[in-house]
Structures are given as structure tokens and as C-alpha cells.
């Protein structure tokens, strides 16, 4: 027999049916901004970079991809990157199966991919949003150079340009649900930026999901699990 907690799992998780996409090239600081401004929201982070970096460390491979050693390890690195993406996709599917709130951490260089994922999530009942972390190219390159896992400047520049070109498209797709963060200067002890982003994120999270597919799923799950108490806010 399932416990009360097991019956409520997923249904009572905070911010179910909420999905945030991240956009920002290498060195934009997007992961740091989001971790500082979304803590305690109960959102599951989907990030293949974290898994990829762990695989590299476990395999004893070079993290700085600007080095000659990294070039020699390219084939093995590509295999690990593929494994990391597969693992990330599996995690995401598990979160989505329970309709949990998620943050999909990516660069945002491929608009079509993000738009396709956003549409698929909407069809399942999700509200989708984007946090676009913006910096100048100079700042992005300087920060990339200081990262433990840095990419060549040519890669960082291409990614930055691709992301910038997609901003207009993102504005249209996530109309009313797009947060643009200027992360060019963040003073160590100044929480103004993070408080501002936190306030905007909380505002989007407070919006009631009105997608009929979400209500249908909740009613179906309540009936399947024999639960009579609706999730908070529904």
C-alpha cells in the first residue's frame, strides 16, 4: 500500500506545470544567476553541462578545451558529451512525466529546438518562460577565460552571436513570459540584480496555470491515485 506522501508526490510538488528555459552563451553567468534567484522554488534543473563536467573529471580528461591536450582527447570527449545528453534527456523525461517544475539550462543558440520543446511542454499543460542572461561580448569572453571548463574564443564568439540573433524570436515566442537580465556587472556584495530576478521569477510562478491539459492531468491523477485533496492553487 502506498503512503500518503507517495500518493501526493508530484501533485503536491511546488510549481508543477512551470518550465523555464535559460539562454546565454559561455561566460554569461546564467547558471549562477538562476541558482541565486530561484532557490527554494522547487524547480528541477536540467543541465547536461554539469553531468558532462563530472564525466570529464571522472575520466581524468582536460577541462579547459583551449589546450592541445583537449584537442587530442576530442574523440573521447565527444562520446562523454553524448552520454551526458542522453542522461540529461532521461532526467528531463522523468521530471516531465510527473509534471514537475523545471529549469532547462542551455545556451539558447538553437531557437528552433527551444521553440519545439516549449510547444511540446505547452501541449502537456505547462506554462513556459525564458530567462535570458545578457552580457557584452567582451565580458562573456573575459568570464569564459576564467572558467574551469573554458571553450575556445571562437566557440564563445559564435555562441554569443547566435544567442543575440535569437533574442527577437524569443521575445515573440515567450511574449509576457520573458525575463531579460543584464549581467555585465555584478558587485560581490550587491544583491540588487538577484533580488530583481527573484521578484520576476516569483511573479511568473504565482500566475495560475490555465491550460486545460494541466487541469485534465491533475483530475486524472487524483482519480488514479485515489486522492481527494487538490494541489495548492488549483
* 146 vs 166: CA distance, rounded Å: 26
- Looking at residue 6, its pLDDT comes to 43
* 119 vs 94: CA distance, rounded Å: 18
- Looking at residue 37, its pLDDT comes to 76
* Residue 57, phi then psi, degrees to nearest 5: -65, -40
Look at domain 20-43+100-225 and name its CATH class.
Answer: alpha beta
- Looking at residue 14, its pLDDT comes to 78
Question: 102 has which bridge partners?
Answer: 19, 44
- Looking at residue 36, its pLDDT comes to 78
Q: Flag residues of the chain having pLDDT under 70.
A: 1-10, 186-191
- Looking at residue 191, its pLDDT comes to 63
* Residue 108, phi then psi, degrees to nearest 5: 85, 15
CB contact set of 89 (below 8 Å; sequence gap of 6+): none
- Looking at residue 10, its pLDDT comes to 65
- Looking at residue 217, its pLDDT comes to 94
Where are the chain's structural domains?
Answer: 20-43+100-225
How distant is the alpha carbon of residue 143 from its chain centre? 20
* Residue 180, phi then psi, degrees to nearest 5: -105, 125
Amino acid at each position: 500500500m502506498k503512503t500518503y506522501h507517495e500518493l501526493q508526490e508530484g501533485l503536491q510538488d511546488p510549481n508543477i506545470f512551470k518550465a523555464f528555459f535559460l539562454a546565454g552563451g559561455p561566460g554569461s553567468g546564467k547558471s549562477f544567476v538562476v541558482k541565486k534567484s530561484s532557490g527554494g522554488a522547487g524547480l528541477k534543473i536540467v543541465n547536461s553541462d554539469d553531468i558532462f563536467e563530472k564525466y570529464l573529471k571522472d575520466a581524468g580528461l582536460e577541462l579547459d578545451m583551449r589546450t592541445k591536450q583537449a584537442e587530442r582527447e576530442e574523440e573521447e570527449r565527444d562520446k562523454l558529451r553524448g552520454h551526458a545528453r542522453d542522461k540529461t534527456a532521461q532526467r528531463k523525461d522523468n521530471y516531465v512525466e510527473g509534471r514537475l517544475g523545471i529549469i532547462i539550462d542551455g545556451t539558447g543558440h538553437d531557437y528552433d529546438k527551444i521553440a519545439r520543446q516549449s510547444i511540446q511542454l505547452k501541449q502537456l499543460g505547462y506554462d513556459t518562460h525564458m530567462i535570458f542572461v545578457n552580457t557584452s561580448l567582451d565580458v562573456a569572453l573575459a568570464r569564459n577565460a576564467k572558467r574551469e571548463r573554458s571553450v575556445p574564443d571562437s566557440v564563445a564568439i559564435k555562441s554569443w552571436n547566435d544567442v543575440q540573433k535569437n533574442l527577437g524570436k524569443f521575445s515573440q515566442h515567450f511574449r509576457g513570459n520573458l525575463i531579460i537580465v543584464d549581467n555585465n556587472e555584478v558587485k560581490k556584495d550587491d544583491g540588487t540584480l538577484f533580488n530583481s530576478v527573484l521578484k520576476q521569477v516569483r511573479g511568473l510562478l504565482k500566475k495560475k496555470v490555465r491550460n486545460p491539459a494541466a487541469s485534465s492531468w491533475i483530475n486524472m491523477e487524483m482519480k488514479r491515485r485515489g486522492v481527494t485533496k487538490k494541489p495548492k492553487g488549483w
